[in-house]
Amino acid sequence: MNIQTVEITSSGIRRFLNKYTPERAISEFVWNGFDAKATIVKIDFEVDPDCLDTFKSIRISDNGNGICYEDLSLKFKKFYESQKFIDSKDNSDFKRGKNGYGRLTFHKFARFAKWYSTYIRDSKNVSYDIQIQSENLKDYVPSIPVNSVKEVGTCVEFKEISSEISSAFVNQKLVPFLCAEFAWFLELKDEFKILINGTEINYSSIVAETDNFNVNLTDKNGVAIIFPCKYIRWNTKLNEEFSRFYFLNDNLDLKNSKTTLLNKKGDDYWHSLVVVSDFFNEINCEKEEDETKLKLFDDRDDAKIFKDLVEKLNDYLKTKRKPFLKKQAEILVKKYEEEKVFPKFGDNDWDKTRKAGLEDLVKEMYEVEPAIFMKLNKEQKRIFLELLNLVMDSGERESLFKIIEAVVDLDSNDRDEFAKIIKTTRLKQVISTIKLISDRLLTIEGMKKIVFEHELKANERDHLQEFIEKHYWIFGEEYRLVCSEEVKFENALRKYLYILRGVDEKTFIEHPDKYKEMDLFLAGVDFRDGKPHNVVVEIKNPILKQDCFNDKNEYWTFILIGQDYDDVLGRRILNKYTGLVQTGDNYSLYVKKWSEITNEVERRLKYLFEKLQIERSLLSTAVTLEETMNEIIENTANIETKV
């Protein structure tokens, strides 16, 4: 049998390592230092005096254990198989330089690399060096070890540095990358430090919040065990580190780590939690029969304590995550608004309620499972929101019925009908709509008190005027407020013409009443003919002989409202059911009593009121005029939107 050996070339190694950026390559050498039990790793850039803003050399040094010459063939000779990984198979999470090729990534930023390493052999310090060229990555040249007085550790010097390695690279790429790469590790021990040209890197900018707390448990004998814990939430994703628990012994040695239950939930909740206790001194990290698991404790009771600890830590994280998700949900809805991916809603009260219901649904769904909103393009977001606007998530339906049945007596028919509603409507939206109907009824009841209970001493300006400004829906759902009594008629018309026709030049009206104030001026588009319809309330001398009022495509309604009218005015009424006094090609003039206004509104809402069976007598608790005004002004029926 003729056995052949597969060889890897330098160009093959470079292609394999092509994904590495210069900053990631440098971080590999920093990890090598920490993997060698270093506490301090220094990165020093030597400026080239002959070339502006370029570096002559880079040195990465550490105070670790050095590279043992006798193990060199295991550490340097094999590609993609690191001795550090072989030595730490029982706990591979703790070694980063475990792939066996980190030492070769230097070709991304330099042509030559030379290691100077000092280690202890037979109680003596021994030093030697190793050289590698980027053109021939598969070969390395070591020197002969000699006794030395140098301190134990390793320094790698890189020469013929790439032109892209500049001060801008250091500040804008390398430092942020090292912060995101090592922040969690530097949090484990105060002794761990990375220095760049003598200055310790400061990663505080990526720390969103921290918290120190204790978890208190008891062992089988009832003895209290206190676990001091430190929580860190990051405001950026750590490079390749998951959200983890880190368990350290009382010497601050990292004994074990495991991902949290909230790891990779798609909500940008990046976090780490460090636990320090002598409880972890005897952790053994032996493999169980299932090779994918580690047997951390020989004692079953200790294993149970550890399980309880992890459970409490996860509960703690869930509590910390709630306000974070609430805030993120608000940000998500605002972002969707800016992207204009929400379905289009009208400006009437019903559509406002529907929109608010959809926004609440998005927030609530995000707080439950943020991942479903991740990685959607703009069109997918729009489709998803349209679907949410049409259907209710079916998984909540049965729970919903239990809640409803606890407070409302639903028979089988009602239950079926409610199920149909929930398919297309959010429960909160249903409740909001019922609240709006109830508040409208409360408003009508309050208006009756103001108008008909004379002992309250209500007056037109302070009470009725304020009422119709806030509740002009009584004249029709399609209208929007143009202005109220503070605005002179001429100014109101100018504003109306600008809104409707885009006319911004001043409009002058030749009429003796043009400086009078309008009690209420409403504008809207009638769904029947699609034309602008306008309502002016309590104008006693209608101005109809102006060109701006003669457009046949616009219709004007003038309404004079009072407690009652005399026989003279009564004889002029053409239709006693509607109060029509005068009509023209594009206008109508009505005279109405307040009792007629309230009756008209109640007729429009009568069906809903009866079906809901609202106890009208229980709606209002107001006794005084001030209490009555507060009830009808400060409720969901209040409209404050202007055209």
Q: Looking only at Cα atoms, what is the longest distance across the chain?
A: 125
- Indicate the angle between helix axes 427-452 and 594-612, nearest 10 degrees: 150
Is it the case that residue 347 has pLDDT exceeding 60?
A: yes
Lowest mean pLDDT segment, chosen from 25-39, 118-132, 546-560: 546-560
**How many other C-beta atoms are found inside a 10 Å radius of the C-beta of residue 495?**
18
| pLDDT at position 66 | 93
- Round to whole Å and give the CA distance between 426 and 422: 6
**C-beta of residue 96 within 8 angstroms of C-beta of residue 41:** no
- Round to whole Å and give the CA distance between 524 and 500: 10
DSSP code per residue over 524-588: EE-TTT--EEEEEES-SS----SGGG--TT-EEEEEEEES---HHHHHH-SBTTTTEEEE-SSEE
- Round to whole Å and give the CA distance between 566 and 564: 7
| pLDDT at position 402 | 46
**C-beta of residue 153 within 8 angstroms of C-beta of residue 32:** no
3-state secondary structure of 125: strand
| pLDDT at position 159 | 94
- Round to whole Å and give the CA distance between 128 and 150: 11
- Round to whole Å and give the CA distance between 632 and 432: 17
CATH number of 10-202: 3.30.565.10
> What are the residue ranges spanned by the domains of the chain?
10-202, 205-302, 399-424, 455-633
Q: How confident is the model at residue 88 (pLDDT cuts 50, 70, 90)?
A: very low
pLDDT digits (tens, 9 = 90+) for 220-266: 888 899 999 999 999 999 998 899 999 999 888 888 889 998 887 77
> Which residues on adjacent β-strands are paired with residue 200?
195
pTM of the complete model: 0.57
Q: How confident is the model at residue 619 (pLDDT cuts 50, 70, 90)?
A: low
